[in-house]
Chain A
Amino acid sequence: MPRYLRNLQLPINPEQPQILHIDLNSCFATVEQQARPMLRGRPLGVTNRLTKNACVVAASYEAKAQGVKVGMSFSEAKLHCPDLIMVETDPPKYHYVYKKLVKIMRSYSPNIGMKSIDEGIIDFHDTRQNINQRPLAVIGHEIKQRLRDDVGCWMKCNVGIAPNRFLAKTAASLHKPDGLDIITYKNLRRTLEGMKLTDLTGIAERNQARLNAAGIYTPLQFLDAPSELLVRKVFGSICGEDWHKRLRGWEVDNMEFSTKTIGRQFVMDDYNASEEKVRNRLAHLCESTGLKLRYKGFCARGISIYVQYKTGDAWHSRKAFRSTFYTTPEIFRRALLLFNQHPRHDHIVMLSVSCYLLEPSTANQMSILEEVNKERLLTEAVDELNRLYGNYTVTFANSLGADKQIKQKIPFGTTRYFELLCNRA
């Protein structure tokens, strides 16, 4: 942007709010309380594994009121809340609620977007007139009621309405649980007045320190800061300009990101695992990665391995190949090639495999090499069997037994593989 334009202060977006943000409150914990009436009104934590060191991935409001926070270990959470009940995650339940939420949202506008399992956006720009003419607050209350009717009486959600995605999310976090708030150009300043910098999504300790260094201590000062200052002094990049627009209600987050990597990681079930056991887990991770790769219709040219040791040290390696690959044996062969180079000075506690340099699948293209074709046909046959009888019914011999340890958990952040992951054996 030219310098003379940057110096101009962008006005606050005067448009009537057209973005509705829906956020399910403590999603996994609320769904568990909905499913099991005995847990309602009690402090509840949801974890991926029922062990002492497992961390809380979701806490009910009753647990949060007693100081339990997401990310705490079970033993730490128990110190804050002795009556805490921990349950293991159950992805099919969350998938069901997710689908119900998407169905409700679709009935208002075709222009919807799911930010994660429990967050969604409805964009009311260009919707039908009979919907668009109703106040969005009425639609927000209607969505809350429909969620209760379709899923269950314990379900609660926050609704935020604003001119852009960022302010709509901010509005949804103002009165938890079960709130509905609207931010417009009229009440923007009043809303930001009562907030801290870290209350804004995307501003954590580091960004807060950057802003403080430039003399910005409150969201209101952040709002009033000129774009030039944010670009040059605070963020040192175009991010400064994005923040300048975002806070003023102009849309900058309406972006779709393509898939760049596909992979899987696992924190070892045994911190003193033998090399053989680690290879068994690695084989399973490769199988899982291959499954995702083929599900999305991709093949990859690069693979990377990340290993973390008991001491806290980490090692990683990556390699790009000339040929593309997508079958499980091919992924495992290439992963092993890198894995064999890892320094053997301690036990491995975390292992990760990911494929990059993704391209549309070449599965329809026959190879001139008979061996390659055989491997591809075998992979197709195994995939078909697993579709029929559930994932990992027919499995790689190297990964035998690993699926009992590496259970499929909730895909945080993305919901791209939900259908695939919920197909149990």
Chain B
Amino acid sequence: MDQANIINKDVNIVAYYFKNNARHLRCFPKRMEWEGKRVDFTETGLVHPTQKGRRMIHVFDMTDGSADYRLEFDAQALSWTLVAITDTQYAPVSTQFAPSY
């Protein structure tokens, strides 16, 4: 069973990276500082918007290669929240169904 550790704390995003996706320049977190620790993200999973009442929240699912992080950016308060970390040890990866490019 996959149990995420719920954190729900404000964090600092100290570095960003930009990507030109479908003619839109998009911004993603690159480095996070939290409780004296520094996390460098290696990959962005999915970025999707959601609503809390009328407030627009952008959810960033990120990974640093050893754990998955769920970050929320409040577009009104301009604040970052670390929602959860999942760092369970999983079984080896299978490449059988990986998409072919």
Interface residues of A (CB under 8 A from B): 31, 34-43, 50, 60-62, 65, 74, 83, 85-87, 92-93, 95-97, 148-156, 177-178, 386-390, 393, 422-425
Contact = CB atoms under 8 A, between A and B. Distances in A.
B61 to A, nearest CB: 4
A148 B101 CA distance: 10
A151 B94 CA distance: 22
B14 interface: no
Contacts of A40: 93, 98
Which of B1, B52, B93, B95 has most A Cβ within 10 Å?
B1
Given A150-B22, A177-B97, A424 B51 contact: yes
B98 A41 contact: yes
Interface string B47-70: 011111110000101010001100
B53 A388 contact: yes
Given A41-B95, A154-B99, A178-B100, A422 B50 contact: yes
Contacts of B50: 92, 422, 424
A96 to B, nearest CB: 4
B76 interface: no
A38 B100 CA distance: 19
Contact of A424 (B21, B52, B67): B52
Contact of B45 (A37, A42, A150): A37
Given A35-B61, A36-B61, A42 B91 contact: yes
B53 A96 contact: no
Contact of A39 (B22, B52, B90): B90
Contacts of B81: none
Contacts of A149: 21-22
Top 9 nearest A-B pairs (CB, nearest first) are A96-B48, A83-B91, A41-B93, A35-B46, A389-B53, A92-B50, A61-B97, A35-B61, A35-B45
Given A92-B50, A390-B53, A38 B98 contact: no
24 contacts: A34-B45, A35-B45, A36-B45, A39-B90, A40-B93, A41-B96, A60-B97, A61-B96, A62-B97, A65-B97, A74-B1, A85-B88, A86-B2, A92-B49, A92-B59, A93-B59, A148-B99, A151-B46, A155-B99, A388-B53, A390-B52, A424-B51, A424-B52, A425-B53
Contacts of B46: 31, 34-35, 93, 96, 151-152
Interface of B: 1-3, 21-22, 43, 45-46, 48-54, 59, 61, 63, 67-68, 86, 88, 90-91, 93-101
B3 A42 contact: no
A60 B1 CA distance: 15
Given A83-B91, A177-B97, 4 more contacts: A42-B94, A62-B97, A151-B46, A155-B99
Contacts of A34: 45-46
Contacts of A37: 43, 45, 63, 68
A38 B22 CA distance: 26
Contacts of B93: 40-42
A74 B1 CA distance: 9
A36 B52 contact: no
Contacts of A97: 48
A83 B90 contact: yes
A393 B2 contact: no
Nearest to A94: B48
Which of A34, A35, A151, A423 has most B Cβ within 10 Å?
A35
A36 B86 contact: yes
B51 A422 contact: yes
A87 B52 contact: no
B83 to A, nearest CB: 11
A50 B48 contact: no
A151 B44 CA distance: 11
Nearest to A100: B48
A40 B91 CA distance: 11
B3 A50 contact: yes
Contacts of B22: 149-150
Which of A38, A92, A389 has most B Cβ within 10 Å?
A38
Contacts of A152: 45-46
Contacts of B99: 148, 153-156, 178
A83 B33 CA distance: 33
B90 A85 contact: yes
Contacts of B3: 50
Contacts of A386: 53
